[in-house]
Amino acid sequence: VFSLSVAEMGGVISLGGRESCEFFHDPFMGKSDEGKVRKVLKVEPLPDGSGFFFNLSNSLSS
């Protein structure tokens, strides 16, 4: 699960045609398992500027 706050969603909506943004989430931040799970959402413009590419990655480390 990856959710955005209202402010973060506003940032995505207000992106210009050539702008990008990235959001990071660690579900265990502040706990003993901090850093084991890394979730990143990247929003990048398409090369022709006609839209955006959304890339969600989930990394697990031992």
- Is pLDDT at 60 greater than 90 in this prediction? no
Question: What is the residue extent of each domain of the chain?
Answer: 6-60
Q: What pLDDT is recorded for position 51?
A: 94
The pLDDT, as a whole number, for residue 10 is 96
Which fold is adopted by the domain 6-60? Answer: Transcriptional Co-activator pc4; Chain A (2.30.31)
- Cα–Cα distance, 51 to 47 (Å, whole number): 9
Is the pLDDT score of 62 beyond 80?
no
Q: What is the pLDDT of residues 1-40, one digit of tens each?
A: 788 999 999 999 999 989 999 999 988 889 989 889 999 9
Task: Give the pTM.
Answer: 0.80
Any residues with CB less than 8 A from the CB of 1 and at least 6 apart, and which?
none
